[in-house]
């Protein structure tokens, strides 16, 4: 591994050759030591600004318009999705209610049939009871008589 002094010497020796290849602003940066913070010179800033001006401008919408459009589309998508979900839930709810109403109607009919049978049985038993009383009264009269 090279020492710091050997690195600096190597850079100084290589500097004349690199000066032919690099612009002056970059040459100054190469000679700075690694420990020092590198500062941008005014000449470097001018080169950078000139390069940015020459580069083609990107066709982007301003962030406020883009985010407003995206949020509007997002809101519309969310509203449409929510609307579909609500109508789907409402149709499922209506279906469940109609099934439940049909089941309730069937149960009511069964209960009405059971109630009718119970009333018929009650009247039959009352009739039997009455008939039994009459029979017992006849038997009692014959025995007394």
pLDDT single digits (tens) 84-128: 999 999 999 999 999 999 999 999 999 999 999 999 999 999 999
Residues 58-67, mean pLDDT to the nearest whole number: 55
Beta-carbon contacts of 19 under 8 Å, excluding residues fewer than 6 positions away, are 27
d(CA 43, CA 139): 139
Q: Give the CA dihedral 123, 127, 132, 137, nearest 10 degrees.
A: 130
Asked if 25 and 41 count as a contact pair (C-beta separation under 8 A), the reply is: yes
Domain spans, the chain? 1-31
């Amino acid at each position: 591994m090279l020492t710091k002094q050997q690195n600096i010497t190597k850079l100084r020796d290589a500097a004349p050759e690199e000066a032919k290849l690099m612009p002056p602003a970059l040459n100054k940066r190469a000679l700075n030591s690694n420990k020092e913070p590198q500062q941008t010179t005014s000449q470097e800033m001018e080169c950078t600004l000139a390069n940015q001006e020459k580069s083609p401008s990107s066709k982007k919408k301003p962030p406020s318009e883009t985010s407003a459009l995206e949020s509007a589309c997002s809101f519309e998508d969310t509203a449409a999705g929510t609307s579909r979900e609500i109508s789907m839930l409402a149709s499922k709810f209506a279906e469940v209610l109609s099934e439940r109403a049909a089941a309730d109607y069937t149960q009511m009919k069964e209960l009405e049939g059971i109630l009718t049978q119970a009333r018929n049985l009650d009247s039959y038993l009352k009739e039997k009871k009455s008939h039994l009383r009459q029979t017992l009264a006849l038997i009692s009269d014959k025995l007394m008589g």
